[in-house]
Chain A
Amino acid sequence: MQPYILLVDDNDDLADNLKLILEMEGYKIRAVSCSAEALQVMHDEMPGLILADIVMPGTNGYDLFRQVKANCAWASVPFVFLSARTTAEDVNRGLRLGADGYITKPFTIGELLSMIQRYL
């Protein structure tokens, strides 16, 4: 069974649109709007890739990353940040944490798809 992509973003508008595109591209996708929801979903089923925003209400993206990587079962799941924080400092911080990728908003569909193809 094809693993699903877990999208964590508080911007519903963006999430809706991404879901639409990725489904059209043949991916399975589940979109949640906060970290707590994401962790819940992951308990149900391990995703094949996590795309997560950083600036979110509640637990932010960095903390979500730490919690995911701290769990042995999930540690191997590729984690890609998807953020409007675009300075080099932000990107480096994300990558230094150990993230597998960092996509800055706004992004092109090509950028997103090539990142997904790298891990799925």
Chain B
Amino acid sequence: MSQDFTSTQTTTTLLILAEIGEAISANLPLDTVLGRIVSALTRLAPSCHAVSIAIPDAACETITVRAAADGLGSPRVQRIGWICPVRELATVQTILSTRSLLYLPDTTQSTLWRSDLYPDNTAKAFLGVPLIMQEAIVGFLFIDFFTIDPITDETRYAVEAFARYAAAAIDNAQQRDNLRHSEERHRLVANLTSNAIYEWQPGSALVEWSNDIDSLLGYPPGAFPRTEAGWLAAIHPDDREQVKSARQAAVRQGTLFEAEYRMRRADGVYCHVMDRAALVAGSDHIIGAISNLTDVYNLADALINSEVRYRTIFARSLQAIFVVDKDGKVMDVNPAAETLTGRDYTQLASSLITDLALASELELYQDMLSQLRTQGEFSSREMRICKQDGSVAYIEMWGVALAKDVYEIVAHDVSERQRAQALAAQRTAELIALGDLTRAAAAGGDLFEMLQRALPGAMGVLEMSRGCIYLRENNNPTLRLTAYAGFGPGHKPAETLPLDAIHHGRATDLSPLVRIVEQPGRNGPDVSLQAPLIANGSVMGMVIFSGRGTRNVPFQDINLMDSVAHLLEIGVENIRLLGDLEGLVQERTSALMASEARYRSLIEQVPGIVYTAHAIYDGLTFISSNTTDLCGLSPQNLMYNPNGLLTLVHPEDLDWVRDQANRAIASGQDFDAQYRITKPSTGTECWVHHRARPITTLGDQVLWLGLLTDMTRLKELDSLKNQFVATVTHELRTPLSVIKLRAATLRNYYARLSDAERLSMVERISYQADILGALIDDVLRLAQLDGHSTERRIEAVNMVSIGGDVVEELRPAAESAGLSFHASWPDGRCLVHADASDIARIWRNLIDNAIKYTHAPGSLHVYAGCTEFDTNGGVQYRPSDHLTIPPDCLIVPSDLRPGRWVVGVVQDTGKGISEDDRAQIFTRFFRGEAAMTNIPGTGLGLSLVKELVEDYSGRVALRSQLGLGSTFTFWLPAINNESERW
């Protein structure tokens, strides 16, 4: 709350000021006017705690509170009349010395504020305004606020305006008081001075004066000459002869002498006197009295002036003014009173003020008169007045004594205000009731409950005592009672009504639907209002309200009935729609939940990051939870970093990736790119496949649905494959080129070649063709393993004999390479279930590898045997094994199962395999350093060995030391029943 007089209140302020101005000019009692001012001020300033107006005494030693109102505008009676010495009021002293407005924005911080003076005062801020009239401080306006807010200009202007009016009211009242006082003084003076008595015998030189003559003419007592000459000399020369002759005539005729003339006072100034004298019966003496008329003249002037002023106000006032005597008899009225009462002057002048009262308010009028008589004042009070035509006007009346037994009663016509207030109250009640009805109708829920809830509100709106609602079921021609209210216990409206009941009753001009039905009731006639409830152009029900007694149904009620029916229609329709909607919502929700669940599970299963965003790289709205593996950042991190994804892109790819994304966004086309990203945590690089597609969501908002998949492995495989293709091509081309060249030589130079040379050519062709064949075989074998389409002849085969064959096959190559080649075989057989060609290939690839990677003068050793492995004791040697494998050559794989195994070992003293390469040595296409050193090979040999061995549930193990050589061991499950025999 602010203590502002808000701008919307400016108009209100002006209206109130106008009213107050009028009250002042109508000479309303001062306290009434000031009461109105303080009350209006509290209403204009919402944070007002209290407003009061105090008036200082003449010496300005005390102030007296003449009007006070609390924050709600009600008079604070206990405060009115409170007198406080100014010396105790620092605030008032300050205002007196500065003669300007004093504002204490925070009373607790002010040294001027003494709260102990106001035990009931909890003001937080204080505003004191001097009321100044003709440069004199005539009063003080105090406003207490209960909030500490800065005072605005608008507040100040309004307060100052009210202050001016208050000052004017006080001044006006004081002027009236002064006037009244001066009248009394003059009266008193006149009384005191009217009796300068003289006795004189005409012709005598001496005149006998009472002492009053001295004071009347301003002489010290006894100083005025007591002679006829002195008297005549004092008379104004213009009047002297006239006075003389008039008195002589009166003496002569013995009649009363009366004359007004001027006499010179001691100070030389002439004054008017009235001289009345008469001959004392039975003597020649006259006795007379002189009174000073100057003051009377002045008084008359003042009275005339005052009367003129009063008359002007009287005639021109918009308020009706009655001047009445103590019995309430009307002595005078102004034109406004004629208008108010509808009676003319003559009618009013002959009547009593109480004749205007309603019978019920006669006492009020009499009370008013008695207050006037006893207190001379009657405060404003609201009452009614009977007009000539029998109608009633609302008035506010106040009165004040004008003179003894003469009172002025002012009546202010407030009928308009009363009517507006009554209308406003009615409209407010209607609106509140309609609001209740609307809320009940809008609340939805159960249809019957809603209608039952809505009925009392609707009845309240229409001021009807009973209401019932019928609804139509399934287009039946019958209306069924759905809700009713206001029927006494045991009473109930008809359960059903025919549909055409909506046409019963009298149609109204105001609404095509509302009808009025009048029918005899138990306690006299009933009147009902009824209206159909319509939805989608067809009748869905009817609402009926009824009350007792015939009455002229006002047009507002017809309109209200229309509104009520409409509200009920909306309520019923709402509930029906809501019912449909709820069903729909339930259906949609379950569908949505199902789809959401599907979507979630789909996302969980997508191997990669799924996200939605406003742009391809910006404004993420959703991201799947598995981001850390791929890009090293948590979903939250990506979510709240603008361009989070883009910052990961490898610098070399950044430009084209961004360009492509911008193009996709501009064109609304799919985005598809494969690029490298760098994980911030480890700095490692990986390849991603990033696809994004614009999707339109509700409200035409475009979201991008993106998917990032890790293709590092794919890229590695791809690179390995490319390397493989190159290698295989190279390896295939080498024998092929020899074959072609040999063949071409034979063809082109056949005649020039010797027989031996020709034979050698053919042999070389055959040899190279074998190599080519083996190579192709390797590739095919691998391809078959991949596709698991190998057609094998599995049988019990002896690994020793197959190994022996391979050793002999490769011995020439080893020896030509300058290597010593040894094979140590056990005596017995080592049987395994396998295809013999697979076992041969395992041996061949291992031995061939050893030859290729060992330089002369190295050596090769090949071993085989059968042994038992258990978890406790490790490898068990049997005496009957005749095992030829040295223990240090027997490398046990970490995951070897306990059981019987056939073992093959190929050991060389070659260059060895580095630790890095060892990890990948069995990877397909991997050739380790061989790729650099150009040792021929496809990179398939060892991977083929491993895959074959593991295909037979065996294991391969390797030990190698760079520069010292390598030992390969392969383990194949032994055939048990055969094992006894070796």
Give the interface of A toward B (CB within 8 A).
10-11, 13-14, 16-18, 20-21, 24, 55-58, 60, 84-87, 105-109
Known A84-B729, A85-B726, A105-B733: A17·B741 in contact at CB below 8 Å: yes
Assembly CA distance A10 to B734 (angstroms): 11
Known A84-B733, A105-B733: A14·B934 in contact at CB below 8 Å: no
Asked if B86 CB lies within 8 Å of chain A CBs, one says: no
What is the distance, in angstroms, from A14's C-beta to the closest C-beta of chain B?
A: 5
Known A21-B749, A105-B733, A106-B733: A13·B744 in contact at CB below 8 Å: no
Select which of B730, B764, B936 is within 8 A of A13 by beta carbon: B764
Q: Please state if A13 and B738 are interface contacts (CB–CB under 8 Å).
A: yes
Residues on the A chain within 8 Å of B880, using CB: none
Select which of A58, A60, A84, A87 is within 8 A of B734 by beta carbon: A84
Asked if B240 CB lies within 8 Å of chain A CBs, one says: no
Residue of B nearest to A89 (CB): B726
Known A84-B733, A85-B730: A17·B764 in contact at CB below 8 Å: yes
What is the distance, in angstroms, from B948's C-beta to the closest C-beta of chain A?
A: 27
What is the distance, in angstroms, from A70's C-beta to the closest C-beta of chain B?
A: 21
Q: Please state if B729 and A17 are interface contacts (CB–CB under 8 Å).
A: no
Known: A13-B768, A58-B933. 15 other contacts (CB 8 A): A13-B767, A17-B742, A17-B764, A21-B745, A24-B752, A55-B936, A58-B934, A105-B737, A106-B736, A106-B739, A107-B737, A108-B740, A108-B744, A109-B745, A109-B748
Residues on the B chain within 8 Å of A24, using CB: 749, 752
What is the distance, in angstroms, from A91's C-beta to the closest C-beta of chain B?
A: 13
Asked if B935 CB lies within 8 Å of chain A CBs, one says: yes
Give the interface of B toward A (CB within 8 A).
726, 729-731, 733-734, 736-742, 744-745, 748-749, 752, 757, 761, 764, 767-768, 933-936
Residue of B nearest to A15 (CB): B738
What is the distance, in angstroms, from B181's C-beta to the closest C-beta of chain A?
A: 128
List the 8 closest A-B pairs by CB distance, nearest first. Answer: A106-B737, A105-B737, A84-B733, A106-B740, A84-B730, A55-B934, A13-B738, A14-B738
Q: Please state if B768 and A57 are interface contacts (CB–CB under 8 Å).
A: no
Residues on the B chain within 8 Å of A58, using CB: 933-934
Residues on the B chain within 8 Å of A108, using CB: 740, 744
Q: Please state if B934 and A56 are interface contacts (CB–CB under 8 Å).
A: yes
Residues on the A chain within 8 Å of B737, using CB: 14, 84, 105-107
Residues on the A chain within 8 Å of B741, using CB: 14, 17-18, 21, 106-107, 109
Residues on the A chain within 8 Å of B933, using CB: 57-58
Residues on the A chain within 8 Å of B767, using CB: 13
Assembly CA distance A87 to B742 (angstroms): 24
Residues on the B chain within 8 Å of A56, using CB: 934
Residue of A nearest to B761 (CB): A17
Select which of B726, B744, B752, B768 is within 8 A of A109 by beta carbon: B744
Select which of A16, A21, A86, A109 is within 8 A of B733 by beta carbon: A86
Known A105-B734, A106-B737: A20·B934 in contact at CB below 8 Å: no
Residues on the A chain within 8 Å of B761, using CB: 17
Q: Please state if A11 and B744 are interface contacts (CB–CB under 8 Å).
A: no
Residues on the B chain within 8 Å of A57, using CB: 933-935
Residues on the B chain within 8 Å of A106, using CB: 733, 736-737, 739-741
Residue of B nearest to A107 (CB): B737
Residues on the A chain within 8 Å of B736, using CB: 105-106
Residues on the B chain within 8 Å of A14, using CB: 734, 737-738, 741
Residues on the B chain within 8 Å of A86, using CB: 729, 733
Secondary structure at the B interface, as helix, strand, loop or mixed, is: helix
Q: Please state if A17 and B934 are interface contacts (CB–CB under 8 Å).
A: no
Residues on the A chain within 8 Å of B748, using CB: 21, 109
Assembly CA distance A57 to B730 (angstroms): 14
A sample of 22 cross-chain residue pairs with beta-carbon separation below 8 angstroms, ordered by A number, consists of A11-B734, A13-B738, A13-B764, A14-B734, A14-B737, A17-B764, A18-B741, A20-B745, A21-B741, A21-B745, A56-B934, A57-B934, A84-B731, A84-B733, A85-B726, A85-B729, A106-B737, A106-B740, A106-B741, A107-B737, A109-B744, A109-B745
Residues on the A chain within 8 Å of B740, using CB: 106-108
Select which of A10, A17, A60, A87 is within 8 A of B726 by beta carbon: A87
Known A60-B934, A85-B726, A86-B729: A17·B734 in contact at CB below 8 Å: no
Assembly CA distance A11 to B731 (angstroms): 11
Assembly CA distance A14 to B734 (angstroms): 9
What is the distance, in angstroms, from B764's C-beta to the closest C-beta of chain A?
A: 5
Residues on the B chain within 8 Å of A10, using CB: 934
Known A13-B768, A18-B741, A20-B745: A55·B752 in contact at CB below 8 Å: no
Residues on the A chain within 8 Å of B729, using CB: 84-86
Assembly CA distance A14 to B739 (angstroms): 9
Residue of B nearest to A55 (CB): B934
Known A20-B745, A56-B934: A11·B730 in contact at CB below 8 Å: no
Q: Please state if A11 and B726 are interface contacts (CB–CB under 8 Å).
A: no
Scoring A10, A11, A55 by chain B CB atoms within 10 A of each residue's CB, the highest score goes to A55
Assembly CA distance A113 to B769 (angstroms): 25
Residues on the B chain within 8 Å of A60, using CB: 934
Residues on the B chain within 8 Å of A21, using CB: 741, 745, 748-749
Q: Please state if A20 and B757 are interface contacts (CB–CB under 8 Å).
A: yes
Assembly CA distance A35 to B348 (angstroms): 147
What is the distance, in angstroms, from A89's C-beta to the closest C-beta of chain B?
A: 9
Residue of A nearest to B741 (CB): A17
What is the distance, in angstroms, from B49's C-beta to the closest C-beta of chain A?
A: 95
Residues on the A chain within 8 Å of B730, using CB: 55, 84-85
Assembly CA distance A18 to B933 (angstroms): 24
What is the distance, in angstroms, from B103's C-beta to the closest C-beta of chain A?
A: 93
Scoring B726, B729, B739, B935 by chain A CB atoms within 10 A of each residue's CB, the highest score goes to B726
What is the distance, in angstroms, from B956's C-beta to the closest C-beta of chain A?
A: 26
Assembly CA distance A87 to B729 (angstroms): 10
Assembly CA distance A17 to B747 (angstroms): 13
What is the distance, in angstroms, from B11's C-beta to the closest C-beta of chain A?
A: 92
Assembly CA distance A85 to B151 (angstroms): 96
What is the distance, in angstroms, from A85's C-beta to the closest C-beta of chain B?
A: 6
Residues on the A chain within 8 Å of B745, using CB: 17, 20-21, 109
What is the distance, in angstroms, from A12's C-beta to the closest C-beta of chain B?
A: 10
Assembly CA distance A13 to B31 (angstroms): 138
Scoring A16, A84, A108 by chain B CB atoms within 10 A of each residue's CB, the highest score goes to A84
Assembly CA distance A86 to B725 (angstroms): 11
Assembly CA distance A60 to B934 (angstroms): 7
Residues on the B chain within 8 Å of A105, using CB: 733-734, 736-737
Assembly CA distance A85 to B761 (angstroms): 25
Assembly CA distance A85 to B729 (angstroms): 8
Residues on the A chain within 8 Å of B768, using CB: 13
Residues on the B chain within 8 Å of A16, using CB: 764
Residues on the B chain within 8 Å of A13, using CB: 738, 764, 767-768
Residue of A nearest to B727 (CB): A55
Assembly CA distance A56 to B767 (angstroms): 20
Assembly CA distance A21 to B740 (angstroms): 13
What is the distance, in angstroms, from A80's C-beta to the closest C-beta of chain B?
A: 15
Residue of B nearest to A61 (CB): B934
Residue of B nearest to A90 (CB): B726
Assembly CA distance A58 to B911 (angstroms): 13
